[in-house]
Amino acid sequence: MKKKFLLTIISLLALCFCFTAKVQPASAAVELSNGKLNNGSTHGAEKQKFTFTMPETGYFYYQVYLHAGWYLLDGKMRWSESYYIYTDMECEGKSKLTKERVSYSKSGYESFTSPTYKFKKGQKVTISVFDDDKDIKTSFSLRAFYTEEPNKEKEDNGTKKKANVIKNHIVYNASTKKKDVDWYVFTAPVYSTYIVALHNANTSSKTKNLPITVYVDGKDPVTKKVANGYNWEDVLRVTLQEGEKLYIKIKGSYTGDYQVRVKRP
């Protein structure tokens, strides 16, 4: 009887060991900070997860950048003129986006920008990035953003009189195409120094400059061509009186996305 009992215990322990050995710990999700660029790599259909916790009630969106051209297959770096990966997004178990495509093509880099969603303070957003091909690893970058109010460009803003109003330190997302003109107006809430900055989000390996001109009464206009890439570029640092305005004109030179903001240092 004792022998049978002992054999039963050993069998149960062996069974438990087998189940335990087969369980693979899930990859820990990366916690995102507002506006910070994070790099990652796909591992086939295994979802690379990122989380973002809303600091306050407000608006959320994110961007995924697929690094141009190169991917890893069979331990060798290879080049492709056209490929894509996918992204999902959910908030506390409720799906918001499913298998949205992030593409690269030989004509240029195409970043993915999600719609803007309103979430409450403390809600956790989970973003996944993955591929269909289990043998391919592709590099990507990802940014998540929180804003106090909706921040999409509103058409028609093609003239100075119809300029979109932008507020201090809020990132505004917009799209452009050749010969498209976008105007923005900023009114200084207090006497201070302000920085006008632009992010040319077209990260093709081919240089694609985006011209921006800033107008302030009593000063010569400042024009700068901002090269495409992952980083923001300061265009102008200027001191404004309370209530003083500055105007921003962005002239499209390609079809793609950009971001603009005015902020105090």
Please give the residue that has the higher pLDDT: either 164 or 149: 164
Domain co-membership, 102 together with 179 = no
Per-residue pLDDT, 41 = 87
The answer to whether residue 22 sits within a structural domain is no
Per-residue pLDDT, 49 = 95
Last residue of a domain, one of 124, 147, 170: 147
Per-residue pLDDT, 262 = 94
The answer to whether residue 13 sits within a structural domain is no
Domain co-membership, 132 together with 56 = yes
Average pLDDT over residues 135-141: 81
Report the distance separating Cα 176 and Cα 251, nearest Å. 8
User: Could you give the C-alpha distances from 230 to 8, 120, 155, 227, in angstroms and in order?
Assistant: 61, 29, 25, 10
Percent of the chain with pLDDT over 70: 81
Last residue of a domain, one of 147, 169, 200: 147
Domain co-membership, 167 together with 254 = yes
Per-residue pLDDT, 13 = 39
Average pLDDT over residues 3-25: 39
Domain co-membership, 197 together with 104 = no
The answer to whether residue 11 sits within a structural domain is no
Under 8 Å CB-to-CB from 175, ≥6 apart: which residues?
A: 153, 255, 256, 257, 258
Per-residue pLDDT, 38 = 92
Q: How far apart are the first and last CA of the chain?
A: 80
230 pLDDT above the threshold of 70: no
Domain co-membership, 226 together with 138 = no
pLDDT band at 6, cuts 50/70/90? very low
Domain co-membership, 129 together with 199 = no
At 25-43, the pLDDT tens digits run 446 889 999 988 899 988 8
E strand or H helix at 20 = helix 2-22
The answer to whether residue 52 sits within a structural domain is yes
The number of distinct structural domains making up the chain is 2
The answer to whether residue 8 sits within a structural domain is no
Domain co-membership, 92 together with 168 = no
Domain co-membership, 143 together with 172 = no
Q: Where in the sequence is the domain holding 175, given as residue range(s)?
A: 160-263
2 pLDDT above the threshold of 50: no
Report the distance separating Cα 236 and Cα 247, nearest Å. 12
What's the mean per-residue pLDDT of the chain?
81
115 pLDDT above the threshold of 70: yes
Domain co-membership, 248 together with 209 = yes
Average pLDDT over residues 97-126: 78
pLDDT band at 213, cuts 50/70/90? very high
Per-residue pLDDT, 252 = 85
The answer to whether residue 135 sits within a structural domain is yes
Please give the residue that has the higher pLDDT: either 128 or 77: 128
Domain co-membership, 168 together with 124 = no
Report the distance separating Cα 197 and Cα 217, nearest Å. 19
Domain co-membership, 37 together with 102 = yes
207 pLDDT above the threshold of 90: no
Domain co-membership, 176 together with 107 = no
Per-residue pLDDT, 112 = 78
Residue 81 backbone phi and psi in degrees, to 5: -85, -10
Average pLDDT over residues 38-55: 90
Under 8 Å CB-to-CB from 48, ≥6 apart: which residues?
A: 27, 40, 41, 42, 128, 129, 130
222 pLDDT above the threshold of 90: yes
Report the distance separating Cα 262 and Cα 60, nearest Å. 19
Per-residue pLDDT, 212 = 95
The answer to whether residue 19 sits within a structural domain is no
CATH code (residue 76)? 2.60.120.380
Please give the residue that has the higher pLDDT: either 183 or 174: 183
Last residue of a domain, one of 147, 181, 208: 147
71 pLDDT above the threshold of 70: no
